[in-house]
Each structure stands twice: as structure tokens, then as C-alpha cells.
Structure 1
Amino acid sequence: MLDRQIVSPVDNSNGSFFAWMGRVSYRYRWLVIAIWSALLILSLLLAPRLEHVLKGLGVVYEQGAAGQAEQLLKQELNLETNALVTIFQSPVGEPLASHRGEIEQTLDQIQRLDGVKTIARASDHPEYRTANGQTEYSTISLSVEDTQAFPVIEQIEQRLKQHSNPSLQTFLTGEPVIDRDGQHLTQMDLRRVELLALPLTLVTLLFVFGSVVAAALPIVMGVMAVAVTSGVLAIITVQVDISVLALNLTTMLGLGLGIDYSLLIVSRFREELHPEAVEQSVIRTVDAAGRAVFFSGLTVGIGLLSLLCFPVLLLRSLGLAGAIVVFVSVAAALTLVPALLGLVGAGINRWRIVPPSSLRSGIWGTIARSTMKHSIAAVAFVTALIFVLSSPFQHARFGLGDYSILPQHVPSRQGVEVLQQAFGVGETVPILLAVSAATPGELILSKPHVATLFQLVNDLKRDPRVEDVYSLFNLDPTLNLAAYQQLYGRLAQLPPALATAVKNLSSPSTTLIIVKSRTGSNNDDSRALVEKLRSLSPAGLHLQVGGAIARQLDTIQVVRQRFPLVLAAMLMVTFVVLCLLLSSVVLPLKAIVMNLLSMGASFGLLVFVFQEGHLHEWLNFTPLGYLDTLIAVTMFCVLFGLSMDYEVFLLCRIKEAYDRTQNNHLSVVEGVERTGGIITSAALLLILVTGAFALTSLVTVKALGLGIALGVLIDATLIRTLLVPATMRLMGRWNWWSPRFLRLDRFQFKVD
């Protein structure tokens, strides 16, 4: 946010753009309300469409080297890397053979369902069955994708329930099922968050404003922002893929910023209100507070739009959806709120329930004077505390969310865990080696290539990080290299079992080698194994690496490559805007440094909770052992805008006082005193909304909501209340220094 009054006390607002917005919104208030009502109705009609068009979680970089390898395998071998997995498990001591007829009958019925393409059964793939014969699985390839697969998944689940008995456990899992469960949990969580956050927010607003009418307006604006954004997203999805997790950020920011911006407008209107001159009150309100809202949206939007620079569906979806909800919130605050204020006029204070809290309480001036009196001690205390809070971040590990972001009671997660217990961790995240002949026209099963691949497979089996290798070159441990060369030299005469394996694992030019690691996808050993495989250059062959671990590595690498550029751009744009706004180069640098300190503390707490697992019982989640890379990037970009929001709000009010008095000490006191209440109220409301997401089901959403809430809390208390006044007292007139050749004083903060 920016200060609510950045201009001179003299009323020179009539010619400004924001004054014009206020005048138009007041004079055509019924038209403005009608337009927004039509948008709301249209959005409510379109919003249900989102259930059918949103994509999955979208957490991987599909165009990376791993994606290219999997595309090759799909073209050459018709391999589906996102197939469903149905698992059958019998009790200890009871082999599945006694249930063979029931299993095959169930799979036959599933095969006949519309949308099911093929089923690879354990009866045709011995590697799909454990040695003790108590657990096996089959893979199901579908002819439909994304949300179109959900009805098919439900039909398969019904067949599994109908034909299972108490002694035969069945599970259905796989990436499409996990995506479906994630989407269903997201929808339920959003309803629960709204039911929790909105009443708490209303109660808080009642204490801030004291009247029902004034408290209700921000709530209406928050709901309006979320609803209209959902309608816009429903239209955009016709051409653009959007991740289902975008709904979480839309609700989080829509409620948070929609309520915050309306709080600012309504608060200023109550100050400006003259019952005999409601129009002028609205104009002055929008001219002053409208500037705050506009530039607040600009600072938050810079961070969100930067997410579009990452070629990952989740990040782009969050950036696009977040930018839309910010735009809608700003537009509603600059048009709909003034129109409604013009309609209610002096009735804004109607139905008073409790005495309103004072947004200009003298306590904030007292805090500022005390802090500046002990400025060195305050800086030392806050800096030490920030470094303590940030210290866990030194041990941060980054990974990508998988099935473990789901609650433990979800069947698709349970299915993955059953597979890992029965077959090993690597069974659920196999490393796929697509090996092709380097020379066009050469056969992959020629004698020289078979010799090279036979040696490669044996080397892999000796690697301590490898649990097992499945390929055409170690199907029978009794066969040596010469035997394999002889067999593959006469493909037409192969035994049926071996002929099936050749059909499944090779084409004339390409073969598939499946490597199963001993550790999971976010383990350093698994990543090192993938890096080693990518470095191999078998003679006469071209080797590509696919699979979940490789895709995660590609995603993390592309984010790391682009993040420094995104960060530099964010810092540069913010620095330039603040230089023009504050006519200083010192204050922008200090604001950026304090912003980074605040976010460092937030990330430290995030590591403490979600990586190290503290408080996991209270928050009801299983510790991940890492920070999700994509959520960390999203939180950084969102927090950067929100934290700078409050910082600039305060600094602009201080600058206004300094321009008038040329007294650094008095201007800091006045700025803190006049903004303390409104910043605290806005921060509290945003913390209530984002903090409510800490109670959702998906671990990644918990981390995003709690991280933003903690960041806002730290920024609104330690940074804004203590560190800013103390450092401004120590730096004195140097706060306002800028090189003469820049001539920053010629720029005035006025948008005409």
C-alpha cells in the first residue's frame, strides 16, 4: 500500500486522475453497480465450468530433457508414463493365486469401460508381482486426459469395490488419480477456508469500524474479487492451461487484498465524510486512498507477474491468476466501493455495535519515539532476532511435491505406500533410459549394440544406489552376452515370453531400460544417480533419461536458472519506482534490504516447520524433509509485493511530513502515528485470511498460507514498527540523499 494522503493538504485533487475516477463512480453509481452486478452474475454462471477444465497440479517442467525422453518412448514404444496403477494385496500367508479368477474378472470389466485403452497385467509381466505372491499390480492406460479422466477413474474405483472381499485389498493410484484427489481436496478446503475466514474477518472489521455497514463493505468486496476472478479464469481456460492450485491463491489474495483495499477506502471515506457534501467526500477519498490502492496493486502485481517467466504450469498459473485477482481487487476498490459509498453516504456509520478502534491512536507515536530514543538497541535487537529466525534456512533442502503432499488417509497415497513397501521405493519413481542407435537405420538389437547395452546394464546393477534393473539384457540371469546376441539375431524365432518382452521394451531403433533406485525422488542419491546416467555416452548409442526423478531435476534446474534474472528484474523495477516516488536512493535501498530480511525470517520459519517437522502434529501433516521449490518461489514473489506494500505505505507518509517540516525526527513520528493503526488492521485481516490456509489438507498449500501469514506478521511488527523508525533516526538527513545529476526532486507522485 501507499499512504492515504501523498499530496499537499491543500485540496488540489479536482484535476487528478483518481479524483476523476471518484467523480465518475459517484455520479454514475447506479451504472457502476449494475456493471459489477452483471459481472458477478456472469461469473457465478461460468465458475462451475472450472471443475471440468482446470489441469492437474502442474508441478514439473514438461519441455525439459526428461520430457523429451518420455516423448520418444511414447512414439517408439507407445509407453504411457502417467498410467493408472491398480494394486491387489492379500493377507500375510495367503497368496493372491487363490483370488486369481476374481482379479482377472475385475480387470476384464475395467478393460471394457469407455476411456480405458489397455491394461498391462501381472500375468503378462512377472516383474509386477512380489516374490511371495502376496502383492501385484497392473497398469491401466486411458484414452482420455486431465479432468476428462476423472469419470473413468470413478468407474474403475467402483469396479474395484464391487469385486473385492475382506481378504483382498485393492488400491488405485497413479498421477491422474493423485491429481484428481488433489483437486477434490482443494475444492473442499476452499469452502472450509471461506467458512472460517469470513466470519473472523467480519468480527475484526466490526471492532475496527464499529458499524455493521462499514464492516460489511470490505467483506462484499473480497467475495466479489474471488467470484469475478473465477469467472475470468473460466473464460481464459478456453485457450490457456491453468493448474487447479491457482484457485487457492485466487481465494487467498482475493479475500485478503479485496478486504484490505476496501478497508483503506472505507477508512478514508469516514474521515473525509461531510453529510452535506458526499460527492466531494468520495472524490477526496479516491484521490488519496485510490492512489494507495493503485500503487499497492502495482507492487504486488510486479511480484506475481514475474512468475510468468518460469516455464512451469503451476508457477505460470499462480502468476496469471494472482495478477487477475489483484487487478479485479484494484478495479473494484476504485469504482465499485466509491459507488457504494456514494449510495450509503452518511449511512456508512449505521448500525453501530461496538465503539470503533482509533486508527490514529497515540500509542503508535509513543512506540516511534521510544524506538528512536533507543535506536541502536532496537536495530541490534531486531537484526539479531531476524538472523535467529532466518538461521534454519541455511539448512534448506529443495524438492518437488509428490504423493506425500496428500493426507495419509487418501487412498491414492496409501496405494503408493503399499507399492513402496512391497517392491521398494524405486518402484513408484522408476528411472527410464531411452537408448537409441546413434546412426539412422541401425538396429538397436544388433550384436555391437547388444554388447554395449549388456555391459551398461551390468554396470548399473553394481551401483549401490540401484535396487534393480529391468531390460532386455538381464531378463534371464543364466544367459550370457553371447546367448543374448544369438537370440536377438533371430527375432522371429524367439520364445513367446521373450518375444513379448522385446515387443514391450524395444522398437527397431530404440530400447527401454528401467532403473529402480533405492531411494525416493527427493533424495540426493537418486538425483546423483540421474546425473550420472545423463553423463553416460555409450559407444554408437544416444541415451536419454526420463522418469519422475529426472523431471523433478529438470524443473528445479530451470527454476534455479531463471530465478536470479527474475529477482534482478524485480529489484530493479522496485528500486526505480521507489526512487521516483521518494526522491531518494537511500530509502529504496533500505526498503529492499529490510524486505529481504523479513522474507529471510519467513523462510527460516518455513524450514523449521515443514522441513524439520516442528508443529506437524498441531498442523496435521507429515513432514516433507524439504521445501517445495515451486511454493518457495511463489511465496517469495507474493511476499515481496506484500511486504513492500506496507513499507512504502509508511515511507510515503513520512516523506509527506518531511517535505512539510524538513525535520527527520518529527516526520518519522508523524508517519508511524498516522499509519500504525491502518497498517496493523490491514495486516491482521490478511493474516486471518492467509493463515486459514494453514488448516487445509495439501501440505504445499499449508506452507504457502502459513508462510505468507508469517511474512506479513514479521513485516508489520518487527520491520515497520521497530526497524524502520530506528534506522531512519540513525541515518538522519542521509535518508533523503540522492545524486544531484538524477534530479529526482523533479518527479512528483501524481498520476494525471
Structure 2
Amino acid sequence: MHESKPQHNSSYFYRFGCKVIQYYKVILLVWGLLFLGGIMLIPSFFNHLSPPQLNVKGSQSELTQKLMEHNFADDMGEQNFLVFHSNQWKVNEQKFYEPVDNVLAEIQKIEGVTVVANPMENPLLEGENQVSKDLHTCYALLFIEGNKGRVLETIDVLSEYLDAQKGGLELYLTGATPTIKDLTHMEKRDLTFAEKLGMPFVLVVLLFAFGSLTAALIPIMLGGMAVVLTFACLSLSGYQDFDIIVPSVVTMIGLGIGIDYSLFLIIRYREELQQNDSHQAIAIAIATSGKSIFLSGLTVMISLIGLPLVHAKLFLNLTVGTFAVLFILLLLTLTFLPSLLCLLGHRLNSFSIPYKKKTNQRKYLYRWTKHIMKYSLPYLIGSLLILAALTAPLLQMHLGIGLNQDALKDYPSGRGNTLLEDKFVSGLYSPVLLVKKASGSRFSMEELKEISTVGDILKTFDEVQMVSSITELTDNLLGDDDTYNEVAELIKLPELKEYTSFLINDDFNVAPLMITLKYAPDSTEAKTFVSKLNERFEKQVNEGSLYIGGLTAQVNDLHEETAKKTPIVIVVVLMISYCFLVIAFKSIFIPIKAILLNIICVTAACGMTVLVFQFGWGEEYLQFTSPGFIQSYLPVLTFAILFGLSMDYEVFLVGRIKEEWESSHDNEESIARGIESTGPFITQAALIMIIVFISFILTRVLEIKQLGFTLAIAVLLDATIIRLILVPILLKMMGKWNWWFPSMKRRFKLK
């Protein structure tokens, strides 16, 4: 290894390491200040999280949403439900209706609450529709005016008032913003829980790896800094619609990969420290492990390039968040960590623990690799059969999109939604929208009659519970023989503004029909209904006179977009990754081998995910209820992330094997020596990453459970069957072709 020192001295990474050493105090100071500033920006980041971003660019549901936002932004505000419930009293009893009247009267005084539709007085919903059949539950409609920030402030005031109410009634506020607030609170609790659960086990692994408390704490600190600084950067980006699952993904990647990168650099530094002074050891560590870390980080980032090809905000959000944490991790690992090592020097080994490492651990790996290569065919066949068995459930995978309402069952918005579903209809809190747009500047009488006709058609669908429209309201008040002028004048009445403001715009040219279904917005029945709408009104939709939107339509559009783009994303990721690995390894065949093994590993991990989360194996132990499908966007998301993570260990292992090959030019010996050198550290790094991912399996959001499980299984397979069996076997079979590469440089020299 030390024979290659002159090569290190001339490398760019070695010179970069020398510069870091020269300015290590300044680097530590700058990172320290950035970290303190980042801590203060974390609340701002979490305050701007949004519910799952299901919008698909250019889809019918997005066009509908933009049409509604453009025409109703100033008038409509946000609709919320205030649910009243009592197991003891009924709505017609004084102990029930008096508190309801008192609460609604006080809420009316809160600034920003523009409408309070009393369940006994709302003409739009005909009164009794807001009271459950058993008379133990009712709800009021609340309309909050203003932009997103103002709505959030009003909801805060409203929630504080409701929390202070003591009595026999249960009060639950639910809607878009209350749900976001509860999701954000749950996300923070889940992240804290995952960190508290996983970090003690990670610390134990690091203590066994380093034998020193000081060295063991550094990787955890670096991973935590990366997560904090990423949240701060995302907060400063000015983008205010980051998906609620972005913090979990950022934390998983930041802690898992950050700790791994630190582990590899510190191990190489301590190895070099035995024969060099501290500064020289740091420079060589950056020139070797630092270069591998840089290539590894780029590989993971490249594997994510294809995700934005799926034209959905969800994928863009996750790509931006993951790119940010990886970029910050690379900066921290290549600047902050060497600077800290420079400051500590030999004090890195302080606070040692009484643990004696087994010196023959590497010899076992050396002998194991030799044994594997000697009996390569049986091990190859056996390993492929195991991986094929794990992959088999993938053939029965069903994709769908669930909104995971069960995750909020212990929060006010979740309890409110549950009561609305149980006591009324499942689709009440998220209606399907069929929006009518005028052909001219204002609706004609014929177009108003068309809205009424469309409403009558919608009521014939078995899935429909109720249809609310402007013509439904005017017909109730004026009768069926109303005239155009009567309708126009009626809509302008101030006392009806609270009911008409969300059914027709001020310009009198856009009017939504709000379709309440009998089923939840993510149910199969609701999705089927939206498909029926597209078929029934295909001509009007194509002409641009009718628009179909709402949450169920968004779910359908995202499912179709993901299914259509997944093969394209996979091909793009494979092509770009191959080109990058060819340049990085200067080999034609090693990248092909790496890509094939990674595909096998990813498909096996996804097969296990289908077994557990679709078939429901382990529901009781992992505390979830299987929806009978895998989230549509998870396969392509996990493929991109897993492909990058699998390449992570490939870069470290093959990089070390290549070092040995350049010294000995003995294929089998270089493979055995490379695995002997990196095997223990790859195992420890994999164990750390598995612990981090497993800790997220026990959170409450089903998508995060699925993602954490798939990543944990993939890393386990990659660090065992792939790295310890298949990699040495295939490298041995390829022989001298491992490092074959067209010698373009030599040809130029000859010229």
C-alpha cells in the first residue's frame, strides 16, 4: 500500500487534503457557525411542509386545481370540518346542542373565520345531512380566508380555543391545514423516536469498530450535522411545498450514508496513522478513501437523476432533498471531518474501551474468499437460487396509492376523519370536483341548465352520495322555473355569499360540482368512479368545458404517470450509471457486473417488501394493516435510492481490489486481499445502515415503513450474498478482462 505513496502525492485529492489541513481552523469555525444557524432554521422548514404532493404536471387534475386556485383564490379560502361527538348525549338534547351553539358563536368572532355553517341551519346541506343517523355526531363547515400563512395562523388560534374547551363533547377539527399540522407533529415525533431507537445501537457498533468513544461519536455527529444543515438549506430555498415524507427520507439517507462515509475515512486515517504523522495520514486518507467517498456520493446522486422524469412534485421534492443531503455530506466528509481529525490528532483514540479486537478476523475473510473462488460454481448456483426465491413475490405485485389516514388515528384531524367516515360517508372530507367553465365571459342560461343536467346525471352513479352545485342551491331557493336574472341576482346577495362563494366565482364563469362519494378518496371504488367520469364526459373534457379534479383524480393521475415512466427512469439510471462507472473504474466489464448484481439485489429486496406489506406477513409485529398493494411511487423511488446505495459498497470494494491489482497483477490474490481489507468495514458500515433503516420501520407512516424495510433488506443482501459471494466469484471468472479498457491515452501518447 505504501509503495503507491508517490502516486498519492501527485493526485488531486492528496493536494486537496493538504489544503484542508492548512486551513483546518477556519473550516471548523465556518462549519460551526453554519450548524448553529441551521438549528435556528429547522422550525421554519417544518412549518412549510405540505401533505403528500400528488400533483402530476400537465394532468387533468392539475389543470383543475390551477383553474380553481385562479378563480377562487380570494373568495374560497379553505374548507374545514369541526366534528362534535358524544357517546352519552344526542344532538337533540340540551347538553349537546347548547355547547355546539356556544362554540360556533365564539368561533364566528375569530378573525379569518369567514363562514360557520351550523349543522342545524345550513340550507346547502339540508340540515339533517350534517347530523349522524344515531344522533351522537354532527359537524359544522368552517371556511378560513386568506393565503396559506394566514390560514395556518387562524387554525392555530382556532385549535388553541378548541383545546381549552372542557366538557362532555368531543371536538375535532379536520381539513387540509389541520391535517398538515398533525402530520408535521407526527413526523417530528417519528424522527425523534427513530433517532432515539437507532442511535444507541449505532454507537455500540462504532465502539466495537473503533474501540474509542471519541472516534465512535464523530460519525454520529457528522450525520446529524448533515441532516440539520439540509433542513436549513431547504428552508432557505424559498420553496414552501416540501412533501411531509421528505424529512424522513433525508434523515434516513443523511444518518445512514453519513455515518458510513465517516467510518471509511476514519478507518483509513487510523490505518495510515500507524506509519505516518497525523497530517500525512489525513492527506493519504483523503487521496484514497476520500476519493472513493466522492465517487460513491456522485454515484448515488447520479442514480437519482431519473426521478424527475416522473412529472410529479413528490419525486421532485424527494430528488431535491436527497441531492441536498448527499452534497452536504460530501462537503462535510471531505472538509469538516479531516479538519476535526487534524485538531484531534492522536486524541482520536481517547476514552478507549476495554475491548480487544480479534486480529485474525481479516484472515478469515481472506480464507473465505479463496474458498469461494475455489468452489465458485456451487456457491454461484446456490446464491442465485436464494435471490430468485426472494424475488418471486415481485411477480404478484399490485400497485396502488393509499393516503394512510390510519397514521393520524391518535390526532384530532385523524379522529375527526374517522368519525366522518363512520358516521356519515367516507368521501365527505374530500369530494371529487367536476368543474364547469363558461364558453364566454359569463355563463349563459343554457350553460346553467347544463350544470343542472350534469348534476342529475352524476346522481345516477351508484358511488355518489350527494352532489352540491350552484344550480342545486338556486333550485332549492327559487324552484325549477327560475330565470337567468333571478339566479344572477340571488348569487350576489350578501347573506348567501357564504354558501355561493365556493360554488361559483365572482366573474360568473367557473362553477364546480362537488361530488361526495360513499367511499374513501383512495378506495378502489372512488378511483373507478373517476375513470367512469372521464369516459362519460370525455368530449366535454377534451373541449375544455369540463375539468375533473380532486384528491381521487390526483391519485389516479399519479398512478398512471408512475406506471408509464418507471421503465424510462430505470433505463436512464442504468445508462448514466454505467457511463459514470466506466470512467470511474476505467473498466468495461466491472460496471456491467456491478449493474447486474445491483438489479438482482434490488428486485430481491422489493420481492421481500411485497411479501411483507402486500401479503401482510408480519402485520402484527410491524404494527400496520396491509392495504393489499404497494404504493405506486415506491418501486421507482426505492430502485433509484437502492441502486445508488448498492454502488456505494461497490466503489469501496472494487477501488481497494484495484489498488491490490496495480501492485501485484494477480487477479485472485488481489480479490482476496481487497475483500480482506474492506470486508470488516463494509460489514460494519452495512450493519449501521441497517440499524438506521430498521428504526424507521417502527414509525407510523406506511410509506416510510415500506421504504425503511426495503432499504434494510437490500443493504443486508448487498453486504452478504452479493459482496461476499457473488462479487469474488464473478471477478474471478472475468479474470484479466476485469481491468480491460481501451487505451486511448496510450494512442494519444504514440501520436
Does TM, scored on the shorter chain, surpass 0.5? yes
CA distance in 2, matches of 1:682, 1:478: 68
Deviations 1:504-551 (A, max 9, x none): 644644443233334333333322321221231467982111111011
- Note if contact 1:83-1:142 (Cα within 8 Å) is conserved in structure 2: yes
Indicate the larger mover: 659-668 or 482-491: 482-491
CA distance in 2, matches of 1:93, 1:419: 18
1:293 CA drift (Å) = 1.1
Q: Amino acid of the residue matched to residue 242 of structure 1?
A: F
Q: Amino acid of the residue matched to residue 117 of structure 1?
A: T
Indicate which of 1, 9, 17 corresponds to 2:12. Answer: 17
Match of 2:347 in 1: 347
- Note if contact 1:57-1:182 (Cα within 8 Å) is conserved in structure 2: no
Match of 2:303 in 1: 303
Indicate which of 699, 703, 710 corresponds to 1:700. Answer: 703
Q: Amino acid of the residue matched to residue 527 of structure 1?
A: K
1:186 CA drift (Å) = 1.4
Indicate which of 707, 713, 716 corresponds to 2:716. Answer: 713
Match of 1:44 in 2: 39
Match of 2:62 in 1: 67
Where do 1:282-681 residues align within 5 Å? 282-353=282-353, 354-356=355-357, 361-404=362-405, 406-437=407-438, 439-441=439-441, 443=443, 445-446=445-446, 450=449, 452-453=450-451, 456-471=454-469, 484=480, 491=487, 505-506=503-504, 508-535=508-535, 536-537=537-538, 542-681=545-684
Q: Does structure 1 residue 34 correspond to structure 2 residue 29?
A: yes
- Note if contact 1:611-1:624 (Cα within 8 Å) is conserved in structure 2: yes
CA distance in 2, matches of 1:363, 1:338: 31
Q: Amino acid of the residue matched to residue 543 of structure 1?
A: L
Structure 1 residues 348 and 462: CA distance shift in structure 2, 3 A: same
> Matched residues, percent identical?
28
CA distance in 2, matches of 1:200, 1:652: 29
CA distance in 2, matches of 1:747, 1:221: 44
CA distance in 2, matches of 1:559, 1:541: 25
CA distance in 1, matches of 2:488, 2:153: 42
CA distance in 2, matches of 1:178, 1:422: 19
Indicate which of 77, 97, 100 corresponds to 1:100. Answer: 97
- Note if contact 2:117-2:142 (Cα within 8 Å) is conserved in structure 1: yes
1:638 CA drift (Å) = 1.7
- Note if contact 1:265-1:286 (Cα within 8 Å) is conserved in structure 2: yes
1:692 CA drift (Å) = 1.4
SS of equivalent to 2:704: helix
**Aligned CA-pair RMSD:** 3.5
- Note if contact 1:300-1:645 (Cα within 8 Å) is conserved in structure 2: yes
1:433 CA drift (Å) = 0.8
CA distance in 1, matches of 2:673, 2:275: 28
1:734 CA drift (Å) = 4.8
TM superposition score normalised by structure 1 = 0.88
- Note if contact 2:49-2:240 (Cα within 8 Å) is conserved in structure 1: no
CA distance in 2, matches of 1:74, 1:317: 21
CA distance in 2, matches of 1:14, 1:499: 77
Deviations 1:151-200 (A, max 9, x none): 4334323444555632x333211121111111111112222222232222
Match of 2:254 in 1: 254
SS of equivalent to 1:617: helix
1:721 CA drift (Å) = 1.4
1:295 CA drift (Å) = 0.7
Indicate the larger mover: 586-595 or 66-75: 66-75
Match of 2:686 in 1: 683
SS of equivalent to 1:425: coil
- Note if contact 2:305-2:573 (Cα within 8 Å) is conserved in structure 1: no
SS of equivalent to 1:712: helix
Q: Which runs of 5+ in 2 are unaligned?
A: none
Indicate the larger mover: 681-690 or 665-674: 665-674
Match of 1:89 in 2: 85
- Note if contact 1:275-1:345 (Cα within 8 Å) is conserved in structure 2: no
Structure 1 residues 388 and 475: CA distance shift in structure 2, 3 A: farther
Structure 1 residues 81 and 673: CA distance shift in structure 2, 3 A: farther
Deviations 1:307-349 (A, max 9, x none): 4555444433332222222122212221222222223323333
SS of equivalent to 1:26: helix
SS of equivalent to 1:484: coil
Structure 1 residues 713 and 444: CA distance shift in structure 2, 3 A: farther
Q: Amino acid of the residue matched to residue 643 of structure 2?
A: F
1:19 CA drift (Å) = 0.6
Q: Amino acid of the residue matched to residue 375 of structure 2?
A: H
Structure 1 residues 425 and 154: CA distance shift in structure 2, 3 A: same
- Note if contact 1:505-1:511 (Cα within 8 Å) is conserved in structure 2: yes
CA distance in 2, matches of 1:637, 1:468: 43
Structure 1 residues 577 and 514: CA distance shift in structure 2, 3 A: same
Q: Which runs of 5+ in 1 are unaligned?
A: none
CA distance in 2, matches of 1:67, 1:120: 29
TM superposition score normalised by structure 2 = 0.88
Indicate the larger mover: 95-104 or 633-642: 95-104
CA distance in 2, matches of 1:155, 1:344: 50
Q: Does structure 1 residue 141 correspond to structure 2 residue 143?
A: yes
Indicate the larger mover: 320-329 or 81-90: 81-90
Length, aligned pairs only: 734
- Note if contact 2:49-2:180 (Cα within 8 Å) is conserved in structure 1: no
CA distance in 1, matches of 2:623, 2:150: 32
Match of 2:178 in 1: 177
Indicate the larger mover: 326-335 or 309-318: 309-318
CA distance in 1, matches of 2:281, 2:538: 74
CA distance in 2, matches of 1:308, 1:610: 26
Match of 1:264 in 2: 264
Indicate the larger mover: 646-655 or 672-681: 646-655
